[in-house]
A and B are shown apart, each in its own frame.
Chain A
Amino acid sequence: MTTSDDVVVEAVGLKRLYPITKGILFKKKIGEVRAVDGIDLQLMRGETLALVGESGCGKSTTGRLLMGLEPADGGSISVLGDDLAKLNSRQMRAKRRDIQMILQDPYTSLNPRMNVATIVGEPFAIHPDALAGRSRSEAVRELMDRVGLDPSMVNRYPHQFSGGQRQRIGVARALALRPQIIVADEPVSALDVSVQAQVMNLLLDLQKEMGLSYVFVSHDLAVVRQIADRISVMYPGRVVETGKAESVYAAPAHPYTLALLSAAPIPDPAVQAERERIKLSGELPNPADPPSGCRFRTRCWKAQEVCAREEPQLVEISSGHSVACHFPQREDAKV
């Protein structure tokens, strides 16, 4: 599983900067938001890589960069061996058959003026050869069935469905082209907890059946725990800790990961009452003007003078588990 043949998505030194401009007709650049600031990612075939972090840390931007929906301002992305920056628009369209996306909000991700047959059928309108001999309505019915929706509902409009059903429609649309990779941007965070579980199970089943690789963007560590094989924890624009899910959950090394884990509730009142919670004070640093050195130092209880001076780099602390911190938590310490 770890030979380079099995890497389906690889990002190296990925950057995305949004300019801050002033003026109406003659725009002047007065600064930039470093939304994604030099991150490395690797997604293996058939695995789920979770990108975790709080709002504004650049995880959704990373997802859109991997989809080629936004241009990267630095670094490179290769999907199934092809560098996205080197593809022309026709090759890029062809590449989209391999990598698809599930969006967060099932209420805005479906066009309110289209019925389900049109929404789920649109991938085939754009890539007719993906039908492989089937009629479009046949293909749409197959997909509806696959995601657990009654195929007789194809003539309905999005507003006639519940949030969970709508998210299933979004999943059906993403599966239509039989992609190998799916970028799921907070796919269940807009849903009720009971419905979340159903959609998560659907995603897990589909992964098993179709051998999908997921990039799973989420802020919810409880959800991530169900699906992730590996986790990368992001803090504005940077990956601060990455490793196998078990090892990150069992032995978080970065103080930020520690704080995130302690914020996720444990479904056992006795344990939940006893454990110590780390409360972070303050907000995310302004990504237009990040603090010097370690970006987390302004909220970190371990911060010392060196943290302001030097930016910590990702260092491997155990097999496949890396952390960017000057004072990582030792593995034997308890949370």
Chain B
Amino acid sequence: MSDLQVEAQSAQAAGPESRTVAADAWYQLRRNWVFWVSVVLIVGISAIVLFPGLFASEEATTSLTGGCQLEDSLEAPGDKFLLGADQQGCDVYSLSIYSARTSVSVGLLTAIGTTLIGSLLGLLAGFYGGKSDSVLSGVTSIFLGLPFVLGAVVLLSSVDLPDIWGVVFALTLLSWATAFRLVRAKTIEAKGQDYTLAARALGAKDLRIMFRHILPNAIGPSIVVAVISLGIFIGAEATLSYLGLGIQPPNTSWGVMISEAQNAFFTAPWVLMVPAGFLTVTVLAFILLGETVSDALDPKLRK
């Protein structure tokens, strides 16, 4: 996002007629309220992730510092607990705030990982073609065919990686294929363009052609997909943690919270609703951002 803004601003500085694709997109986005809603939500979520202490106190999330008292178990929302307490007597609101970092980290790391791996392999396969492309594309088809949850369950129960890295590893391994396909297709398109031929005629080496000419023209769609899937990865982490395969207590995430809330859902629905609400809003914010940016970047969808 910040890249887009920086590009847009520098384009404006160059003169009113000087408008790049990014500047056009920015002009379009400024007028879109959905975009602003998602930006406000993401800024809020980022603040929670970076400075949870501003919104809640960490003491309320653990019994070590006297926060969680069993006597407060399943206390309803009210004066003592804004959004109620869970079975351990911990403040659900504070716990949700402090769980954001894990959930968002998993989403962000996975989105970065899939984009890096998928784009790099897609660029190489599309550029060099031939046997390596056939093999890589075949492997990609296998990964796209794997059932996502089942694949993650099998992976996580067979590898033993600490903390959030296991989840990031499993999600990345199962999801890089989308970025690969997008970048490969755009690479093949850009490779056949005359500007690539001109660069070759000037004597440019493969690396220069790939990274200076092809990648900038091929990466756009996969960035948009990365933003959208960031939200989906946060949801996937919750699913895996709910199944007991993702983040393990005492570490906490929204998925862990939802998992622990299921026993008491009918007597104390707030224990489930609050983390689920945070999760839904976060996922939605990233999907909306991705889709508005994608529409703005596509001239064919402009009014």
Contact = CB atoms under 8 A, between A and B. Distances in A.
Interface string A101-123: 10111001111110000000011
Contacts of B216: 111, 113
Interface residues of B, number: 24
Give the dominant DSSP class at A's interface: loop
B203 A109 contact: no
A156 interface: yes
Interface in A138-166: 155-157, 160
Of A64, A67, A109, A111, most buried by chain B (CB within 10 Å of CB) is: A111
B198 A113 contact: no
A328 B138 CA distance: 56
B202 A122 contact: yes
A108 B194 contact: yes
Contacts of A125: 208
A170 B198 CA distance: 9
Given A101-B201, A126-B202, A157 B20 contact: yes
Interface stretch (A92-100, A221-229, A286-294, A305-313): A92-100
Nearest to B208: A126
A278 B199 CA distance: 42
Contact of A112 (B17, B19, B21): B21
B217 interface: yes
B80 interface: no
Given A156-B18, A157-B18, A109 B201 contact: no
Interface residues of A, number: 33
A109 B192 CA distance: 11
A160 B14 CA distance: 13
A177 interface: yes
Nearest to A157: B20
Contacts of A173: 198, 202
A69 interface: yes
A126 B18 contact: no
A122 B204 contact: yes
Interface of A: 24-25, 64, 67, 69, 92-94, 96-97, 100-101, 103-105, 108-113, 122-123, 125-127, 155-157, 160, 170, 173, 177
Given A123-B202, A155-B14, 8 more contacts: A24-B134, A67-B201, A96-B202, A103-B197, A112-B195, A122-B204, A157-B20, A160-B19
